[in-house]
């Protein structure tokens, strides 16, 4: 009886432990090469799973020896050690599974039909591995150590099946869109700001059109296909599709699916360079949207860092540029940007001579850039500058992305940011405020091969933007941030490293009060 219970619980615990890895596979868009790179970046989690499995296997073997000093009867001793090992295993696996669940980060785990199919295969694989270990007299706890690789194997086995399923959904969506000659399709791609620009544009266009936009995380072929198949109705006049990519050809595939007339390129950076291979490939991938536009298509570019200028210069279609300040020849510009406790104020200027003063609760030049890009598109589609300004005033802050929370003490919540570019923008926003300025951060978890260098640079950027800095988390991991900060001459007494968010809250209360501002930057897992 115990053998059966042990086998069942080990299999269930292995499935629960695999959810962390399934989430990683999902975040990598079920791409096996990208998932392998995810494994290489997750050595601590792999080590944790291996330690749990190996430690419980060793307990199953050697705990009876340890208990022999206290329990003389062998049968009783074996029974006690077996149950004790099982309890220890379930507690350890359960605690870490719950910890992973509560720290899912930017995009929570979604239990889609594809995930359900993968979990079914995982259950069979884990059961087979645990049973095999039983048959060869190896404690089945060792099977738990294979969780990261079981997900890879399940993905490999299901890849042909998923390819056939996806092809059917893709073709259904493609035919549905292509049958709508009256539908205006807008494609948006870039490295940063795609989702924000999409929702800004949706709000602006809703004044005059019935608009459907893909939800926040639906930027793949299957995500867009699902939205089209399930939600696109005859009454919709405009469909806005966010287009994500991890390799050359991804955007081309999405263009073939959606057939956009308008294409928007947001800010371009080195995100996903590990899967693209080079920055040149990133530029080529984003430009696939422009290349896929029809002869009468219209392209819009965010001119913020020099990269979009290259694509703008070679674009043969009707094209428009948008920027914060910048060249007066740009079609749409946000100028005179000011930030205070009520939000952001700026003047929106069009090259046709129109201008309007705008206010929004969104913060940062980065959001001003996104607004200018969306406004250029809306104006080209017939909206007046006054209609655009009214739409900008209706915009709501994006949750936990430079989210302004007014009060006696102003709070800026940027805890969904994971990248150095976003952190630099948040510091720039913080510098605009008067009063004492406090930043609470656990550093930048940006993936890459040089996390210490990235966080050192982050530390050097804080001087002049913050008066007090609270670093939350592991002291060793935060040392690079602290070193960068202190290298600028920042007062050592105004920097503290604390273990968790409760201690951070105490420091915030001590260092700030009414009229001051606190920036919460990046994930604060503690």
pLDDT tens-digit map of 179-220: 999 999 999 999 888 999 999 999 999 999 999 999 987 899
Whether the CA torsion 428, 340, 416, 323 is positive or negative: it is negative
**Per-residue pLDDT tens over the stretch 458-475:** 999 999 999 999 999 888
pLDDT of residue 525: 58
Q: What does 458-500 look like in DSSP terms, one character per residue?
A: HHHT-BTTBSEEEEES-HHHHHHHHHHHHTTT--GGGEEEESS
Cα dihedral 397→403→405→410 (10° resolution): -140
- pLDDT over 90 (residue 264): yes
**Could you tell me the two tokens for 498?**
């604390």
Residue with tokens 């809703």: 206
Average pLDDT of the residues in 506-520? 95
Whether the CA torsion 166, 171, 176, 180 is positive or negative: it is positive
pLDDT bracket for residue 143 (50, 70, 90): very high
pLDDT bracket for residue 105 (50, 70, 90): low
User: What are the phi and psi torsion angles at 320 (to 5°)?
Assistant: -140, 145
Q: How far lies 106's CA from each of 118, 289, 344, 422, in Å?
A: 22, 26, 25, 14
| 422 touches 521 (CB < 8 A) | no
Q: Which of 59-63, 185-189, 416-420 reaches the highest mean pLDDT? A: 185-189
Give helix then strand counts, H and E, for the chain: 18, 15
Q: String of b and e for 255-281 (b: at least 16 CB within 10 Å)?
A: bebbbbebbbbbbbbbbbebbbeeeeb
Element of type H or E holding 301: strand 298-302
**Could you tell me the two tokens for 14?**
């292995």
Residue 407 has a CB neighbour count (10 Å cut-off) of: 8
Residue 287 has a CB neighbour count (10 Å cut-off) of: 21
pLDDT of residue 495: 96
pLDDT of residue 526: 43
CA distance 474 to 480: 11
pLDDT of residue 421: 84
Residue 68 has a CB neighbour count (10 Å cut-off) of: 12
Nearest Cα residue to 368 out of 403, 322, 400: 322
The model carries a pTM of: 0.81
CA distance 469 to 439: 5
**Per-residue pLDDT tens over the stretch 353-371:** 999 999 999 999 999 999 9
């Amino acid at each position: 009886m115990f053998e059966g219970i042990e086998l069942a619980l080990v299999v269930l615990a292995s499935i629960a432990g695999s959810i962390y890895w399934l989430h990683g596979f999902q975040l990598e868009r079920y791409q096996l090469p990208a998932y392998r790179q995810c494994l290489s970046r997750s050595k601590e989690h792999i080590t944790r799973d291996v330690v749990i499995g190996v430690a419980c296997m060793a307990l199953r073997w050697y705990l009876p020896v340890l208990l022999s000093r206290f329990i003389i009867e062998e049968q009783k001793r074996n029974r006690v050690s077996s149950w004790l090992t099982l309890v220890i295993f379930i507690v350890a696996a359960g605690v870490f599974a719950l910890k992973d669940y509560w720290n899912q980060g930017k995009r929570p785990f979604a239990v889609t039909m594809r995930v359900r199919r993968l979990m079914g295969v995982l259950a069979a694989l884990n059961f087979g591995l645990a049973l095999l270990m039983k048959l060869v007299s190896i404690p089945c706890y060792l099977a738990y150590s294979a969780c990261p690789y079981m997900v890879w194997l399940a993905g490999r086995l299901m890849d042909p099946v998923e390819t056939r399923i996806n092809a059917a959904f893709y073709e259904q969506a493609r035919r549905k869109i292509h049958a709508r000659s009256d539908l205006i399709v807008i494609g948006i791609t870039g490295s940063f700001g795609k989702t924000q620009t999409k929702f800004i544009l949706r709000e602006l266009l809703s004044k005059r059109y019935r608009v459907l936009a893909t939800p926040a995380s639906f930027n793949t072929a299957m995500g867009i296909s699902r939205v089209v198949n399930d939600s696109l109705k005859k009454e919709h006049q405009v469909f806005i599709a966010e287009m994500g990519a991890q390799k050359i050809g991804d955007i081309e595939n999405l263009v073939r699916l959606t057939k956009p007339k308008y294409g928007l390129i947001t800010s371009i950076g080195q995100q996903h360079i590990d899967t693209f291979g080079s920055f040149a490939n990133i530029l080529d991938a984003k430009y696939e949207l422009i290349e896929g536009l029809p002869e009468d298509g219209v392209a819009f570019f965010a001119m913020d860092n020099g990269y979009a200028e290259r694509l703008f210069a070679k674009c043969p279609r009707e094209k428009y540029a948008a920027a914060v300040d910048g060249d007066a020849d740009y079609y749409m510009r946000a100028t005179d940007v000011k930030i205070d406790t009520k939000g952001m104020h700026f003047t929106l200027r069009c090259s046709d001579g129109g201008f309007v003063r705008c206010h929004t609760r969104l913060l940062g030049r980065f959001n001003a850039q996104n607004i200018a890009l969306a406004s250029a598109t809306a104006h080209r589609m017939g909206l007046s500058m006054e209609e655009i300004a009214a739409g900008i005033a209706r915009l709501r802050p994006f949750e936990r992305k430079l989210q302004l929370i007014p009060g006696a003490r102003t709070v800026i919540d940027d805890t969904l940011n994971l990248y150095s570019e976003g952190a630099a923008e948040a510091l720039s926003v913080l510098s605009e405020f008067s009063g004492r300025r406090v930043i609470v951060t656990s550093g930048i978890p940006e993936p890459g091969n040089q996390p210490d260098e990235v966080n050192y640079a982050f530390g050097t950027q804080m001087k002049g933007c913050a008066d007090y800095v609270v670093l939350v988390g592991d002291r060793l991991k935060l040392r690079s941030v602290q070193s960068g900060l202190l290298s600028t001459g920042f007062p050592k007494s105004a920097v503290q490293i604390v273990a968790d968010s409760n201690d951070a809250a105490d420091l915030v209360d001590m260092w700030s009060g009414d009229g001051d501002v606190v920036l919460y930057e990046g994930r604060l897992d503690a």
